Structure 1
């Protein structure tokens, strides 16, 4: 039944994409030659020639979309990931079409039309996909999710998975139970019943209709893990294990030899290459300067409101630790009463913090207090994307207790980061944040930065 449903969804996605790409291409032709908006000094070309290349355009595009797994129901891509993959597929399709027009000399296709079609097709397909996702999310919210999931583990990741899956319509999971490994095998976890211990998994699999099992504990003996995997295979249950993110990163080793003696070390980040650092710096300068210019009226409005709301300066400068352990003054809009730490000392902000001003609570809720850090980015203290900088007091504390914490200072700190867009900010686990920061450092790319910047617009979790 699930396979049949997946085939129906794939067919709907495919049909909509075909309609969107054809409609987008024809709309570009109309806009270029028939709308009257753009001049056509060489007259209106034969529309039949453009219609003839539509099947080729469609096939190439569908092939590329399939290659990006955009018809895979199990891939469960985020909206941001899907958006960028669609842009890539459309861009490659139009480039291939342009290259073909140089070879095909019997008719001269308008480069302007192809360029316009690139933009319109991206808009149409993303609008279609957005509509489909909204419909799927609506169905899951009002009619329930279809895949029964059991999570096995004793750690905090179990609670995180339950909470995230319950609140995120992207996941078609209905968490029906938790299996414990060593702790008490009864009660509930975040309202989900504990079904028993993992050692009794065969009986539990027999009693419950389970579609997928996620194991969060990596300390389970290898033989036991294989036994669970084989049983899942017999019952047609999908089996997944939470990855050891830190272990995955440290497995990316660099090897060199001295006189034939092999030496292993941690693989360097892409940002150790001078050209990549140059690209990132150029992106920082361009975007921060544009942001400061465009947002200057908003800066002025916020500054006036802060002054009217409470006594004290508009901006708040705080010492932070950046690249290579250097100190710098990070700039923010003041969101708390003046001298807020006089009575509390150096502490993290907490939810509903009484030290916040009325304006400050609003600014923090929507990350507007961070905007002055564009100045830090422009002058080179920070980057747009990177590990969030911490105060010297906390850095001294964390580097003693959190493994590899100081490795996150090998690059410039960022206004936003991979940990932040995944909800790890404020009073959350430093160990988890560090893992996400190190993953970003090891896997940096310009496209990864752009993805994080786009996700930051909607990343309001734990913003207080």
Structure 2
């Protein structure tokens, strides 16, 4: 399929480059706010699963305190809200913490649309995605599962939706996901505060 093999990746690079340029003022403001709010680095690196179950480090703006246990989904932490910084709470609710993943897209590790990359130790989700071929495409900044439940979805449903996306990959499917993501972010659909594990 020409779109899946060539056009999608080209569009990812073009849109990611435009995103970096246009959103640079937002990056600067968020960097300043993070540094003023709490101790620690601005960016958070976390080991994730990419295409073909290869591993890479996803980038996010840090939303949690530096003593937060690593490689643990937020919803599995005891009293997760206590680890989230004040600025982090706002960024997680608005998904602004995900913006540095534009760099992952430019590096070819991610796509704009695709299954959200899971943690390296989320073996149940990885195995479930294998059933649908969802580990065989580049993970995305947003995806079909993200706009159909996000944090509220159980693993089996999430993997099934990821598989549905894989079967239907096309320019129109990606456009639909992109537009619905904007609406979901504005409405904060599916975000369970203190339990965001992606």
* TM-score between both structures, scaled by the size of structure 2: 0.87
Work out whether residues 74 and 80 of structure 2, in 8 Å CA contact, stay in contact via their aligned partners in 1.
no
Is 2:15 the counterpart of 1:290?
Answer: no
Matched, 1:383 2:108: no
- Decide which structure has the larger Cα Rg and report it: 1
Matched with 1:398 is 125
Out of 395, 408, 411, the position equivalent to 2:137 is 411
Spell out the pairing of 1:185-224 with structure 2 (5 A cutoff). Answer: none
> How does 1:31-430 map onto structure 2 within 5 Å?
273-341=1-69, 346-349=72-75, 353-394=81-122, 396-400=123-127, 402=128, 404-405=130-131, 407-423=133-149, 425-426=150-151, 428-430=153-155
Distance 1:405 1:320, change over 3 A: farther
Return the alpha-carbon distance in structure 2 between the equivalents of residues 276 and 317 of structure 1: 28
Between the aligned partners of 1:461 and 1:310, the Cα distance in structure 2 is: 27
Residue 455 of structure 1: aligned partner: 180
1:436 positional shift: 0.8
Aligned to 1:439: 164
1:407: Cα distance to partner? 1.9
SS of equivalent residue, structure 1 residue 418: coil
> How far, CA to CA, are the matches of 1:379 and 1:403 in structure 2?
24
Q: Aligned-pair distance for 1:368? A: 0.4
CA contact (8 A) 2:132 2:163 kept: no
Deviation at 1:427, TM superposition (A): 5.2
Q: Quote the RMSD (CA, aligned, Å).
A: 2.0
How much does 1:379 deviate?
1.2
Q: 1:353 to 1:302 in 2, by over 3 A?
A: same
Deviations 1:278-325 (A, max 9, x none): 100111011100000000011000000000000000000001001001
Deviation at 1:352, TM superposition (A): 6.5
Partner of 2:196: none
Between the aligned partners of 1:332 and 1:433, the Cα distance in structure 2 is 22
> Unaligned stretches of 5+ in structure 2?
194-198
User: What is the CA distance between 1:276 and its match in structure 2?
Assistant: 3.0
Under a length normalisation based on structure 1, what TM-score does the superposition of the two structures give? Answer: 0.39
Q: Which has the higher contact order (CA 8 A, sep 6+)?
A: 2
Structure 2 CA distance for aligned equivalents of residues 347 and 285 of structure 1: 29
Deviations for 1:334-378, whole angstroms, at most 9, x for unmatched residues? 000013116xx7233379722100000000001100011011111
Number of residue pairs matched by the alignment:
187
1:399–1:406 Cα contact (<8 Å) kept:
no
Contact 2:129 2:160 in 1 (8 A): no
Structure 2 distance, partners of 1:397, 1:287, is: 32
**Structure 1: 5+ residue runs without aligned partners?**
1-272
Residue of structure 2 in register with 1:145 after alignment: none
